[in-house]
Amino acid sequence: MPQKFISQRISLPLALLFGFFLAASVVAAEADPWLRPDVAPAPPENQLTPARVLLGQLLFFDPRLSRKMTMSCASCHNPSLGWSDGLPTAVGFDMHTLARATPTIINTSFNPIQMWDGRKSTLEDQATGPIEAAGEMNLPLPELIERLKSIPGYASKFEDAYPGMGITAVTIARGLASFERTVLSTESPFDRWRKGDEKAVPASAKRGFDLFQDKAKCAVCHMGYNFTDNGFHNIGLKTEGAPDVGRFAQRPLKSMHGAFKTPTLRDIGRTTPYMRNGAYRTLMEVVEHYDRGGDDKQNLDINMVPLSLTAGEKADLVAFLESLTGVPPDIRVPSLPL
């Protein structure tokens, strides 16, 4: 075989391989940290399939998952209200008002830690918590399993999703988690701007993004494509009555007293009222709070300092925050198995 031909035969695959790695490294290097991945991560034992998502959707919208068959997951995580409930704090079992706001579940599948106080790590861990919680849906899992087994239409849905595994706490949790992994933010004006459409957001929002990262220090906690550090901070909210210790219940450390998980800012235009206790109805009120450096200074996170923002800067920040909201997708409320 001529030397030149051998050389070409070897060098072409090598060149292609080199090109592939070069392209991959360029793509990796250029990945915009403010744009979210297309697909949420899922654990190996619970990879997404259409049957699993369908099962989870049925369970999510089924009020029979609560003791009195009056509340579904969607009662609080209502897709019509940004997958939250529009209330300052949640309303649970027997219309009992709870201490904390319902967090949106938009993009929660990207978070390595769940709940305001981080007491659950995965979606699968979290999914059955509210079902069993006495103050929420108040239905012990053994009773739920028997109830679902008594509904003929569910058997095939579980079998399709998790062949041979039956109706168990594990398959209920995995199904719910699978559906939650499909609850994702949609493309926002901010995203279109990041992708190169200079007209996608107004100039004020662009200035607001600069402030967000610099003078206003928002990105210290609200970082990356999901606008959260998945961390815990006491941001100095005024509280009435007994203080909510927050993360301190999980990690009894001074800095964690009154600290809560940083929520996403994605689709923030649809998740009012804001903060873990629903203290503020408008984004300007939120910005004012941070401009003051918080109100309750006791055990305040050391990142919290007065910002001395001008009126124009506050308006720019609000314009930026508003640019994080996409058009909500049409959600089909399923016919439930009978």
Partner 1 sequence: MTPRSYSAIRLSLMAFIVTLAMPALAGDQTVGQAKKAFTVGAIKAKVGDTVTFRNDDEFAHNVFSLSDAQSFDLGSYKKGEVRSVKLTTPGVIEVECAIHPEMKMKIEVAK
338's tokens: 């009978």
Question: Smallest distance from the beta carbon of 252 to partner 1, in angstroms?
Answer: 8
Q: Cα–Cα distance between 304 and 86 in angstroms, integer?
A: 27
Catalytic-role residue among 30, 45, 136, 143: 136
Q: Cα–Cα distance between 199 and 190 in angstroms, integer?
A: 10
Question: Smallest distance from the beta carbon of 114 to partner 1, in angstroms?
Answer: 11
CB nearer to partner 1: give 262 or 323: 262
Tell me the C-alpha to C-alpha distance, in Å, between residue 88 and each of 220, 246, 278. Answer: 25, 17, 4
CB nearer to partner 1: give 31 or 203: 31
Question: Smallest distance from the beta carbon of 233 to partner 1, in angstroms?
Answer: 7
CB nearer to partner 1: give 119 or 192: 119
CB nearer to partner 1: give 64 or 233: 233
CB nearer to partner 1: give 77 or 222: 222
Q: Cα–Cα distance between 248 and 317 in angstroms, integer?
A: 31
**232 membership: H or E segment, kind and range:** strand 232-233
Tell me the C-alpha to C-alpha distance, in Å, between residue 126 and each of 17, 50, 138. Answer: 43, 21, 15
277's tokens: 């206790």
Q: Does residue 313 contact residue 211 with C-beta atoms inside 8 Å?
A: yes
Question: Smallest distance from the beta carbon of 190 to partner 1, in angstroms?
Answer: 22
Q: Cα–Cα distance between 117 and 270 in angstroms, integer?
A: 23
Question: Smallest distance from the beta carbon of 216 to partner 1, in angstroms?
Answer: 14
Q: Cα–Cα distance between 107 and 187 in angstroms, integer?
A: 12
Alpha carbons within 13 A on the beta-carbon side of 270: 22
Of 70, 67, 87, 69, the C-alpha closest to 78 is 87
30 annotated active-site: no
Q: Which residues of this protein are in contact with partner 1, per CB under 8 A?
A: 112-113, 118, 220-221, 229-233, 247, 251-256, 259, 301-303
| Residues taking part in catalysis | 136
